[in-house]
Every structure is written in C-alpha cells, then in structure tokens.
C-alpha cells in the first residue's frame, strides 16, 4: 500500500477511519484547492467597441484658382555706357540716380589729342587733293603730245596711273578725316536712351578706354518693367489646361505683382514671353511678365511674386490634406458609408487651395471621409464617426467631471476642518 497518510484520509471510505484531529484541517485544504482550480479558468474577453474617428461631410464649392511664382524684376533694357576712345575724363555732366533723356550729355572727355588728329587728317587730305590736281594737269598736258607722237605712249600711261593713285590717296585721307571726327565725337558721351542712370563708375581725371571699353555708367529703362520666373512643367500644363477650360489664353490671364513688403502693385500685368523649350537640367520653363511702372517704384533686381488668376472652378471638392494618404504613388481617402463601415478609395488630387487639397476625381458631395484617426481604420471594419464639433463637445464634458470631483473633495475637507474646530 503506497498511499500517504493524507491521501488515505482524503479518500471517502477512509475518512471515517482518519483520526479526528486531522479531519478539519484536511477539509479546509480541500476547499482551498477547489477554489484555486476554479479561479484558474479565464473568462472570455469582451468585444472592443468600434474606434472613434473624426469625419467630414464632403461639400462642393466654387473655388477661385490662383498660382503664385517667385521671381525677379529686370529692365527691358539695361544699357552699359562705355568709353569708346582712350582719354581722360574732363567732366561728369549728370546726377547719379536721376532720370536722363536720350541724347543728354553724361561725360566730357579730353578732346585735345583728337582735335590734333583731326587737323593732321585734314592736312593729309589737302595734300592728297593737291597731288591729284597735279596728276590731272599732267595728263591734260601730255595727251595732245601723245596724239601727235611727240612723246612716248608710256609717259601718258604713267601720268594716267598717277591720277588713279592720287584719287585713292584722296579717299584714304578722307577716311582718316572721318575717323578722326568720329573719335572726337566719342569724347562727348551722351545717353543712348531714356531711363534711370545709376552711379558713375569713373571720376574726373580718370583714364578710360585704355585697352578695353571702360564702363562709365548704366542706364535702365523702368517703364514698363519685366518680371522673370521659372515654372515647372507640371505648373505650365495645369495652367494651360485651366486656360483652355475657361476659353482663355495664358497671355490673357490677369497677373498681380506682390512686392517684398507684401504690398500689391497697382497695375496688373500679363505674360509676354514663354521660352521655347524646357531646361533639361531643372525641368522648368523661363517665363516673362510685363507690368507698367509709371511711378518708377519697381527697380531691376527686386525679388517679388506674381499671383496668376486662373479663373473660377465650379463644384470643386476640397478636403484637408491630412485626410489623403499616399501609397506607392497613388492617393487614397477613407470613406464612411451609411452603415458606418470604412472603405478605402483611390482619388486623383489636384493642387493645394490654402490648407485644403483639391480632389479632381474620386469623391462627390455628400460623402463622409475620415480626417483624424486614420491609423485606427481598417478596410470593411465598423467605426464610430464623430464630427469635430461632437468630439470637442465630448472633450468638454469629460473635462467637467474631474473639476466636479475636485470641488466635492474641497467641500468635504472644509466641512471636516469646521467640525474639528468645533470639537
């Protein structure tokens, strides 16, 4: 018989034979074992409620489409005034930063060397003319003698050739005179166009034109003024598409110029040039817009923005950007049906309109989409859709409960202090 004393006592036939002093402790041990065995069986977990997500009712609205580009202003003509002869500067005849008219004198260079060259050229011209006159008289004198064979024919031929040489010398002398007059004229430097002149680059007494044309000043035409920017291929194609939809051309789209301080230029502009090809290095097109600038406020080199009005797009669907997820190059939104079941749907997004994203295809007015809690949503799973107002109201109600508890605890504490004081 291999049973222990306790096993022997627990068995019902032998319980009566077990000593009386062991019966009560053994019964307690049996009850404890039964309770432990019962507690080891786990209850089935309760099903979790559907997650709460924030939803938005999709609405159609008319949207004004605008596109902004950053660029820089430039003058239609930036003319560099340079010295065309080597000379010393005698006078500066303009005020820096002022507007000059075409033909206004700007600089006076030392003329003395060029006047001497002109006088020498005139002297050489007079000498060449005198020689030609002599050669012609020689021909006139020798021609009758040659007819009578009183002189060799070669003498007449030499005299006629001398006349031709004399004529060539006269032409060369005349060219030197013209060249000397041109160089002398270059000593008076005038404005080639009407515009705003910048700072002078030389001072009185400076030697200019030695070896290369020295820059004296720069004149810029300011009215009208040009705006240059680079637009991406996608932006260009979207603008062309919208222009065709509205029946307009890009050149007809109104453009507003936004300056560096945020102010808007009073005159609207227009596109006047789109480059023939896309830059393969940057994938952009160079574009130029033109603006009137009668007050000369706009200056070359200013950084600014243009806002292109592409017209009104009716029945547009706008959704918060955070509601759209991108996966493998495609965009999706979570749509909540009437049975509160989530379905993922592919959409075709457009451009950003403020803080919202334009949806071109995939959504229609009246549908509900998830805007917050996207990580809780699963395909075909039920959810608890709440609007932003409902979620905010629930949060406010939840915040009131702790405040009420704190108020009650404070009231009980005051009552206890009052009672203690009375005692």
Closest to 306 (Cα-Cα) out of 390, 356, 250, 350: 250
Residue ranges of the chain assigned to CATH 2.40.50.100: 78-216
pLDDT per position in the chain (423 positions), as tens? 445 444 444 444 444 555 555 454 545 555 555 555 455 555 556 678 889 999 999 999 888 888 889 999 999 999 999 999 999 999 999 999 999 999 999 999 999 999 999 999 999 999 999 999 999 998 898 888 888 888 888 888 888 899 999 999 999 999 999 999 999 999 999 999 999 999 999 999 999 998 889 999 999 999 999 999 999 988 888 778 777 777 777 778 889 999 999 999 999 999 999 999 999 999 999 999 999 999 889 999 999 999 988 777 888 899 999 999 988 889 999 999 999 999 999 999 988 888 889 898 889 898 999 999 889 999 999 999 998 888 888 888 888 766 655 555 555 555 555 545 544
The pLDDT tens digits for 114-166 are 999 999 999 999 999 999 999 999 889 888 888 888 888 888 888 889 999 99
Strands (DSSP E) along 259-378, which ranges? Answer: 270-274, 284-291, 303-320, 325-327, 330-336, 342-353, 356-361, 368-372
DSSP state of 43: P
Give the tokens for residue 398.
């939840």
- Cα–Cα distance for residue pair 391/385, rounded to 1 Å: 10
Domain 56-76+221-379: give its CATH architecture. Beta Barrel (2.40)
Domain 78-216: give its CATH architecture. Beta Barrel (2.40)
Q: What angle do CA 136, 141, 144 make, to 5 degrees?
A: 125
Closest to 321 (Cα-Cα) out of 333, 311, 336: 333
Closest to 236 (Cα-Cα) out of 302, 303, 282, 291: 282
In the prediction, which pLDDT does 9 show? 47
Strands ordered across the beta sheet of 105-109: 188-190, 105-109, 87-92, 207-208
Give the tokens for residue 382.
């039920």
- Cα–Cα distance for residue pair 72/228, rounded to 1 Å: 6
Containing 418, the helix (H) or strand (E) segment is: helix 388-422
Closest to 269 (Cα-Cα) out of 238, 239, 225, 303: 225
Residue ranges of the chain assigned to CATH 2.40.30.170: 56-76+221-379
Q: Taking the model in full, what pTM does it have?
A: 0.65
- Contact (CB, 8 A) for 331 and 346: yes
């Amino acid at each position: 018989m291999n049973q222990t004393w306790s096993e022997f006592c627990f068995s019902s036939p032998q319980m009566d034979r077990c000593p009386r002093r062991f019966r009560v402790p053994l019964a307690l041990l049996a009850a404890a074992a039964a309770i432990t065995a019962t507690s080891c069986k786990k209850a089935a977990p309760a099903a979790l409620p559907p997650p709460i997500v924030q939803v938005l009712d999709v609405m159609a609205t008319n949207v004004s489409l605008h596109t902004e580009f950053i660029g820089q202003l430039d003058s239609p003509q930036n003319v560099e005034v340079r010295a065309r002869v080597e000379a010393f500067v005698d006078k500066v005849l303009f005020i820096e930063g002022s507007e000059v008219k075409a033909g206004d004198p700007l600089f006076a260079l030392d003329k003395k060397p060029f006047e001497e060259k002109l006088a020498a050229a005139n002297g050489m011209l007079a000498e060449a003319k005198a020689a030609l006159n002599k050669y012609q008289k020689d021909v006139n004198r020798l021609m009758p003698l040659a007819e009578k064979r009183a002189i060799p024919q070669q003498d007449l031929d030499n005299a006629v050739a001398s006349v031709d040489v004399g004529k060539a010398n006269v032409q060369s002398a005349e060219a030197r005179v013209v060249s000397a007059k041109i160089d002398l004229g270059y000593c008076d430097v005038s404005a080639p166009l009407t515009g705003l002149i910048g700072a002078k680059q030389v001072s009185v007494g400076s030697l200019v034109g030695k070896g290369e044309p020295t820059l004296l000043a720069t004149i810029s035409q300011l009215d009208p003024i040009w705006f240059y920017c680079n637009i991406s291929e996608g932006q260009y194609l979207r603008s062309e598409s919208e222009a065709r939809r509205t029946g307009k051309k890009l050149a007809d789209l109104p453009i507003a110029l936004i300056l560096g301080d945020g102010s808007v230029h009073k005159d609207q502009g227009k596109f006047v040039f789109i480059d023939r090809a896309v830059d393969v290095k940057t994938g952009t097109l160079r574009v130029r817009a033109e603006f009137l600038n009668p007050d000369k406020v706009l200056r070359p080199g200013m950084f600014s923005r243009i806002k292109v009005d592409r017209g009104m797009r009716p029945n547009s669907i706008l959704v918060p950007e955070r509601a759209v997820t991108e996966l493998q190059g495609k965009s999706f939104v979570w749509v909540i049906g009437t049975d509160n079941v989530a379905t993922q749907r592919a959409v075709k997004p457009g451009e950003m309109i403020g803080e919202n994203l334009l949806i071109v295809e995939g959504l229609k007015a009246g549908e509900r989409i998830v805007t917050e809690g996207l990580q809780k949503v699963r395909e075909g799973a039920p959810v608890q859709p709440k609007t932003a107002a409902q979620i905010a109201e629930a949060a406010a109600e939840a915040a009131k409960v702790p405040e009420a508890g704190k108020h009650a605890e404070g009231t009980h504490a005051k009552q206890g202090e009052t009672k203690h004081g009375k005692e």
